[in-house]
Amino acid sequence: MPNAESRSGWDRRRDQRLSEYEWVALDLFATRGFRAVTIDEIADAAGVSARTMFRYFPTKEDFLLAQPRRNNADFARRIRELPASDEPAIAVIDLLRTMYSQLPPDLDTLDLWRRAAVEAPDVSARARGERVQELMDAIADYCARSFGVDPELDARPKLIGGSVAGLELALIEMYGRSDNRPLELLDAAAPVIAQIR
């Protein structure tokens, strides 16, 4: 995946436009309800044709899934880039700790997404399921590489992958909704997950 510096100006402008379209859609969903809004109305509010909008977002669900999918891909990429470790669970938890301390989720964006998805529990469930599966697979692959094992023959990579992916999902679900702080939760969970060796 190219980094921001190597991407063309056209790619960056296109991504900016798509982000603007997403915000327009999420705002409409949060204000009027997911079921009440049409893609034609989103296109009109964004100042583009419905045909243009359908090219990038073929369904309304795609507006809700776009941001979570980008976040999933970014996190999975970061996991794949980790150097092998004798303690891969701790390495992934340290990566989570770094991400939450240096680049915490934007509460305004998360709140808008949650309000936009209220009438679309099936899409919310799909976003969560995709997140857990993608992160579990990336973590399991990383753990298998670190342990030097075949994940089909050794259960540890998948156990660690599922545990850490579940922990990360819990962090996102609680983020901004409770007094629990992500770093405190990570510190509490790390010793338990690290015991899977």
Mean pLDDT value across residues 14-18: 88
Write out pLDDT tens, residues 171-190. 888 877 766 677 777 787 77
Q: Are residues 173 and 103 in the same domain?
A: yes
pLDDT higher than 50, residue 41 = yes
Q: Are residues 67 and 141 in the same domain?
A: yes
Is 1 a member of any domain? Answer: no
Is 3 a member of any domain? Answer: no
Q: Are residues 92 and 134 in the same domain?
A: yes
Of the residues 59, 82, 97, which one is the last residue of a structural domain? 59
Is 20 a member of any domain? Answer: yes
Annotate the chain with three-state secondary structure.
CCCCCCCCHHHHHHHHHHHHHHHHHHHHHHHHCCCCCCHHHHHHHHCCCHHHHHHHCCCHHHHHHHHHHHHHHHHHHHHHCCCCCCCHHHHHHHHHHHHHHHCCCCHHHHHHHHHHCCCCHHHHHHHHHHHHHHHHHHHHHHHHHHHCCCCCCCCHHHHHHHHHHHHHHHHHHHCCCCCCCHHHHHHHHHHHHHCCC
pLDDT higher than 80, residue 158 = yes
Tell me the CATH number at 153: 1.10.357
Q: Which domain holds residue 32?
A: 9-59
Q: Which of 57, 62, 69 is nearest to 116 (CA)?
A: 62
Write out pLDDT tens, residues 93-130. 999 889 888 887 888 888 999 999 999 999 999 999 99
Q: Are residues 74 and 51 in the same domain?
A: no
Is 4 a member of any domain? Answer: no
pLDDT band at 1 (very low <50, low <70, confident <90, very high): very low
pLDDT of residue 5: 55
Q: Are residues 111 and 44 in the same domain?
A: no
pLDDT band at 197 (very low <50, low <70, confident <90, very high): low
Tell me how many domains the chain contains. 2
Q: Are residues 70 and 157 in the same domain?
A: yes
- Indicate the residue type of 80: R
Mean pLDDT value across residues 4-22: 82
> In terms of pLDDT, which residue wins out, 3 or 195?
195
Rg (CA), the chain: 19
